[in-house]
């Protein structure tokens, strides 16, 4: 679905943000992009919907070069939720915000009404239907921004720091929702610093550092390698830190999920009884 070939990107200031990125994201894959501030994460994913064009190299979306199509056309395939929702919200009410793209894409009124209501319920913002999005909290505005993207059902969904401003309950809902989208064969790309969120989802992970891909693999392998994480200025998940400390007692060191940790500990206790 997404193919990046020897991608270099330099901002007008001369800052070289991406330095020879090569990456393939399959249709229906769930990818988390991680790394410290300034690693190039957001710059990379902005190439996936054409907001940025390569300085050199190529980015293909479903086989089509982003150089050859407009952002508006790519938007039908790729939905992008910004880290700061205020960068994409502009309508006078929440329902108008969610309906905007559907109208632009030519959906019928009955379909628009159905999709708006579906998205409002899905992201738990139905009560704010007639409210200005700018009257909502940061976390609520973020959910409205996500609802406005999901309403038109794009094949690729990019979420930039989706857990910022969300409480624990909303994070859990977001996690389950993303996993549900992935089960429906949607391609999901998440840019995040939230190592606990990634650990619970266990997607494919790429770690970025200074505009390059440092490593690419499963979360359970990358997030349990302290030396590797140190290079990317990332702290292992809390449950992983505990199991690393208990490695001398024969416990595995590749545990990132609380539920897996519970099973491991219960099995150990049963074996000792």
Kindly list the domain boundaries of the chain, sorted by start residue: 2-223, 237-273
CA 2 to chain centre: 14
Q: Residue 14: what are its φ and ψ, rounded to 5°?
A: 100, -10
Number of Cβ atoms within 10 Å of the Cβ of 53: 13
Residue 119: both structure tokens together: 């998205």
Q: What is the pLDDT of residue 86?
A: 87
Q: Give the DSSP letter of residue 92.
A: S
Residues (pLDDT < 50) of the chain are none
Q: What is the pLDDT of residue 273?
A: 52
State if pTM tops 0.85.
Answer: yes
Give the contacts of 170 (CB within 8 A, at least 6 positions apart). Answer: 124, 139, 143
User: Do 98 and 144 form a contact (C-beta atoms < 8 A)?
Assistant: yes
Q: Does domain 2-223 have CATH number 1.20.120.420?
A: no
What SS3 state is found at 66? coil
Bridge-based pairing state of the strands 212-218 and 78-81: unpaired
User: Do 33 and 48 form a contact (C-beta atoms < 8 A)?
Assistant: no
């Amino acid at each position: 679905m997404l193919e990046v070939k020897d991608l270099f990107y330099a901002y007008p200031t001369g800052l070289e943000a991406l330095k020879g990125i090569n990456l393939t994201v399959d249709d229906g894959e769930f990818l988390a992009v991680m790394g410290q501030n300034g690693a190039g994460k957001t710059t990379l994913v902005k190439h996936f919907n054409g907001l940025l064009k390569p300085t050199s190299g190529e980015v293909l979306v479903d086989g089509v070069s982003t150089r050859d199509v407009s952002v508006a056309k790519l938007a039908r395939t790729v939905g992008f939720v910004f880290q700061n929702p205020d960068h994409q919200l502009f309508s006078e009410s929440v329902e108008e915000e969610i309906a905007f793209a559907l109208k632009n894409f030519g959906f019928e009124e009955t379909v628009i009404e159905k999709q708006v209501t579906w998205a409002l319920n899905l992201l738990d913002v139905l009560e704010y239907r007639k409210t200005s999005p700018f009257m909502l909290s940061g976390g609520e505005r973020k959910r409205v921004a996500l609802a406005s993207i999901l309403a038109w059902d794009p094949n690729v969904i990019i979420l930039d720091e989706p857990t910022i401003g969300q409480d624990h309950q909303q994070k859990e809902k977001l996690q389950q929702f993303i996993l549900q989208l992935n089960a429906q064969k949607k391609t999901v790309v998440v840019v995040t610093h939230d190592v606990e969120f990634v650990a619970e989802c266990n997607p494919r992970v790429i770690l970025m550092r200074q505009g390059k891909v440092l490593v690419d693999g499963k979360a359970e392998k990358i997030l349990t390698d302290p030396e590797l994480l140190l290079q990317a200025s990332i702290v292992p998940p809390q449950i992983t830190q505990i199991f690393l400390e208990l490695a001398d007692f024969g416990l595995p060191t590749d545990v990132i999920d609380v539920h897996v940790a519970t099973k491991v500990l219960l099995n150990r206790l049963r074996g000792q009884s």
